[in-house]
Amino acid sequence: MRSLTAKPAEILQVTDQIYRITLSQPFYAPNQVYLIRDETTMLIDSGYVESIGSLALALKQLGLSMREVDVILYTHPHIDHITAGLLWGTYARRTQKWGHHTMARDIPDYPDFIDVWQADTSRILTLAFRDKQARQTRIRKANDRWARFVRRFAEAQDVPGVGRDTDVSSATQKVTKQGDRAVKLDRLLKEGDEFSTGKLRFRILETPGHNTWHITPLEVSQGFAFTGDLLIGNIPAIYDKLDGNLELFQQSLLKLLEERKQMPAMRFLPAHGDEILQPERAIKIVLKTIGILENGLLKKLVEGRKDLVDLMESAFGAHIEGGNHFITALELLEALLRKLMREGRVGSQLYPDGYEEFYLKH
């Protein structure tokens, strides 16, 4: 049995009804969870499972308990956005969960969903490294990381200061909880759906690409786009063999750009990083960067066959191999290469051991 330490969260009041709660996590950038404090109290995303104590304490600072949250709206089901919500129901049963209309159907068991991700990490490391020893060392480290997550989510956990269906401010004892294995949704959201929380009115955009089930809630009375991981100031991870697609990602960015044209004062609030102050420019830079990376890959392949590690070092530099973004960089480059393969510009040779080389098609 473990205790989840509640680290302080940063709270920023955006408007009278909108608060940004920044939660640290053991991955790359901290998460932004947005609190809508209206006639209906709503969270946009819930953060990582280990952040639930920090989120509960942030709500307490704002005079709220977990059970006073009416709705959690998920932008998409990646672990740093949904897993605190999967644990939420054991503390506050009345809170509804809303998300993409096929998400619950497609992900009936979340730990099984994570197993698929773990297997894909092994797959891409096998694909990338010719050296079998280097490959196995990295796979072992990655598997250890995934195993730690599964234990954090599925095993009994002590969350300080939170009791079952109790006010956080009065719950000082530790309580044992387990996460819900299933993604259960009370409302299935699709393109064009509208709802009100009181003073604020929302419309849903389906914005796949980073993730199959990604949605972007637009607040249309005051003008806010809660962009999740669709627009975060740089290119997010795209997992082509799992739930991502680079072409759809580009289309979703253009869709968001059209919404901005219809509402020029719309503010963009991402799930990672600060408010995007120049969204048109940010979108155009991301799209341009994708083009630059594609051209760089094609130029490198003129030299001859290359594997994913060769191409990654050419695109990002050798230093990234030792950093936290190594796997996501490999996944992004693979997504770029698969797009070029679908366009008939690049081919590949897959070897019996899973290693793959890419070449330019003439």
Using alpha carbons only, give the angle 193, 228, 341 rounded to the nearest 5 degrees. 100
Among residues 246, 237, 339, 331, the alpha carbon closest in space to that of 298 is found at 339
Question: Within 13 A of 48's CA, how many CA atoms are on the CB side?
Answer: 22
Give the phi and the psi of residue 168 in degrees, each rounded to 5: -55, -40
Cα 251 to Cα 126: distance, rounded to the nearest angstrom:
31
Q: For 162-177, what is the mean pLDDT?
A: 42
> pLDDT class for 175, splitting at 50, 70, 90?
very low
Q: Using one digit for the tens of pLDDT, what is the confidence trace for 85-119?
A: 999 988 898 999 999 999 999 999 998 888 898 89
> pLDDT class for 172, splitting at 50, 70, 90?
very low
Q: Using one digit for the tens of pLDDT, what is the confidence trace for 48-60?
A: 988 899 999 999 9
Query: Which pLDDT score is estimated for 180?
Result: 78
Cα 344 to Cα 4: distance, rounded to the nearest angstrom:
49
Q: Please state which architecture CATH assigns to domain 2-108+155-284.
A: 4-Layer Sandwich (3.60)
Sheet with strand 31-37: strands edge to edge? 10-13, 18-23, 31-37, 41-44, 71-73, 96-100, 187-189
Q: Using one digit for the tens of pLDDT, what is the confidence trace for 209-229?
A: 999 999 999 999 999 999 999
Cα 58 to Cα 37: distance, rounded to the nearest angstrom:
13
Q: For 130-159, what is the mean pLDDT?
A: 75
Domains 2-108+155-284 and 285-360 share a fold: no
Domain boundaries, the chain: 2-108+155-284, 110-152, 285-360
Residue 238: CB atoms within 10 Å: 25
Protein fold of 285-360:
Arc Repressor Mutant, subunit A (1.10.10)
Look at residue 243 and tell me whether its pLDDT is greater than 60. yes
Contact 204, 191 (CB under 8 A): yes
Query: Which pLDDT score is estimated for 7?
Result: 67
Contact 316, 329 (CB under 8 A): yes
Tokens of 193: 């759906």
Query: Which pLDDT score is estimated for 64?
Result: 96
Q: For 291-300, what is the mean pLDDT?
A: 96
Query: Which pLDDT score is estimated for 5?
Result: 47
> pLDDT class for 29, splitting at 50, 70, 90?
confident
Of the ranges 39-48, 155-164, 272-281, which one carries the lowest mean pLDDT score? 155-164
> pLDDT class for 120, splitting at 50, 70, 90?
very high
Query: Which pLDDT score is estimated for 256?
Result: 96
Query: Which pLDDT score is estimated for 22?
Result: 96
Look at residue 173 and tell me whether its pLDDT is greater than 80. no
Handedness of CA 147, 30, 127, 310 (dihedral sign): negative
162 or 335: which carries more pLDDT confidence? 335
